[in-house]
Chain A
Amino acid sequence: MRKPGEIVVGLCFLVIGICFTAGAVKLQIGVPTEPQPGFFPFVDGVILIALSSLFLFRAWGGRAGDSHAFGRIKGPAAVVLALVLYVATLERLGYVITTGLLSAVVLKVMETRPRVLVLVSLSLTVISYLVFDRLLGVTLPPGILTAFL
């Protein structure tokens, strides 16, 4: 059976291989006696192109092997989205606010009751901040709460 997902993945590998190979050519390949920076990535890129072509060929014929079916991707998608927003706002808003919201989202996706959700995300944020920032000396960004922390 041909699976469109596998063909897309194979194409991704192929494109990555082509990009790196092209970049390696630009870096100068050199000769074996005097290899230049592009030598190793070039050889490796060509190998990846060959392998992913073979994979695509087999995927086209429906023989690329087993992949697992996607379940309900709403949960993972929500968490990834929350994480992207987290990265974007971490340094501006600070660790405490953003982490509180992030853990609330994760718990929400896991269908936690509201009261427990608030309690757990709040205590997790505060405990982790104290343990890592105060105890272990990891500097976490204070953000807009600088004045209070």
Chain B
Amino acid sequence: MNKRFCLTMMWVGLLMCICAVGGMAPTAVAEEFPTKPVTLIIPVGAGGSHDLTARAVTSVAINYLGQPIIVQLKPGGGGAIGSELVAKAAPDGYTLLFGGMGWSSTLPAVEGRSKGPDDLIAVCRINYSPTIIVARSEMPFKTLKEMLQYAKANPEKLIYANTGPWGQADLPWKMIVKQTGISAKNVPYDGGGPALLAVLGGHADMTGGLISALLPHIKSGKLRALAVLDDKREKELPDVPTAKEEGVNVANLMWRSVLAPKGTPRPVIDKLALAFKKMTEDKSVVSMIDKLGDEIQYMGPDEFGKFWREEFESQKELGKALKK
């Protein structure tokens, strides 16, 4: 009994020590933003280009923001779940969304889901990459034009793997189909990884994706790049024409940006935008983004906000036309 009592007292003493130390920890409420870590929500799965870019950029956050940025993955519904979460979060700058064209423009414009420029405001754009259309190298066509001929000769035979409804692969494919009048099966996969796996395994014939994921397979000869959906050719694929060169007027620039809940005070937005600008100029970040095969294309809050709004409105029109 005596021994037990001693033990208990020891515990109590230990507790008091911990309490004392804990009490000294800085808990004061400061006026200055940010006083605690900022959460950046990525509404899509791990390992994608958004995830990689966000992690590269935020890795140096503490040097320029004074607080770390915690990257949190909230995938689901093609980005809708994470976007809705951020739109509902307190507009204090502590919860941000890593925006992408798919869930921040297309989904709200076409389907009325997820959250667009009506519910979120722009902090800044980091960069963008174009969609690249690829096919299995066993397919009997080598260019976009030949693919279109093949699809016309064999209606409903081609299987196209998209990376989620209205995503980086789905939207441009729907545009190509609409413009050229071909017919093919369009199968939904939950992200770029599974769609790529399906094409490599021969369960689908074509997919669209970003260069960082596709390049190793294009180099190894398993996949053949048919077209780049940009206004200019891709630096690392100088031989692959743009869709416009091949006579199909489709471009799809997947941008990556930082967005905040609507109502976030302007000084906080400015502070964040400045910190992100400095982060994207950090040498280590620049070299990491370079290794991903991308470059920094920073755009400030006002300029990007305008670009985003225009894209959103034009996709709204497009959605109405495509759904017919």
Contact = CB atoms under 8 A, between A and B. Distances in A.
B15 A126 contact: yes
Main DSSP-derived SS at the B contact region: helix
Contacts of B25: 134
A130 B22 contact: yes
A130 B18 contact: yes
Interface string A115-136: 0000100010011001000100
Contact of A119 (B8, B19, B27): B8
* Chain A interface size range: under 10
**Secondary structure call for the A interface:** helix
A123 B12 contact: yes
Contacts of A127: 15
B307 interface: no
Contacts of B27: 149
A131 to B, nearest CB: 9
Contacts of B22: 130, 134
A98 B25 CA distance: 24
B19 A123 contact: no
Contacts of A126: 15, 19
Interface in B2-16: 8, 11-12, 15
Nearest to A119: B8
B92 to A, nearest CB: 15
Interface in A97-149: 119, 123, 126-127, 130, 134, 149
A138 to B, nearest CB: 13
A134 B15 CA distance: 13
Interface residues of B, number: 9
Contacts of A134: 18, 22, 25
Nearest to A129: B22
A127 B11 CA distance: 10
Contacts of B15: 123, 126-127, 130
A146 to B, nearest CB: 10
Contacts of A119: 8
B240 to A, nearest CB: 33
A123 B11 CA distance: 9
Nearest to A33: B185
Nearest to A137: B37
A59 B273 CA distance: 65
A126 B14 CA distance: 11
A5 to B, nearest CB: 38
A127 B15 CA distance: 7
A51 B72 CA distance: 41
A119 B8 CA distance: 9
A127 B19 CA distance: 9
A134 B19 CA distance: 10
B22 to A, nearest CB: 5
A42 B197 CA distance: 30
A123 B9 CA distance: 11
A127 B8 CA distance: 13
A126 B20 CA distance: 12
Contact of A130 (B8, B11, B19): B19
Nearest to B11: A123
A50 B312 CA distance: 47
Nearest to A149: B27
A95 B22 CA distance: 16
Contacts of B19: 126, 130
Contacts of A149: 27
A130 B14 CA distance: 12
A134 B27 CA distance: 11
A74 to B, nearest CB: 30
A99 to B, nearest CB: 15
A149 B18 CA distance: 13
Given A123-B11, A126-B15, A130-B18, 12 more contacts: A119-B8, A123-B12, A123-B15, A126-B19, A127-B15, A130-B15, A130-B19, A130-B22, A134-B18, A134-B22, A134-B25, A149-B27
Q: Lowest 10 CB-CB distances: which A-B pairs, in order?
A: A134-B22, A130-B18, A126-B15, A130-B22, A123-B11, A123-B15, A127-B15, A134-B25, A119-B8, A126-B19
10 contacts: A123-B11, A123-B12, A123-B15, A126-B15, A127-B15, A130-B19, A130-B22, A134-B18, A134-B22, A149-B27
Interface of B: 8, 11-12, 15, 18-19, 22, 25, 27
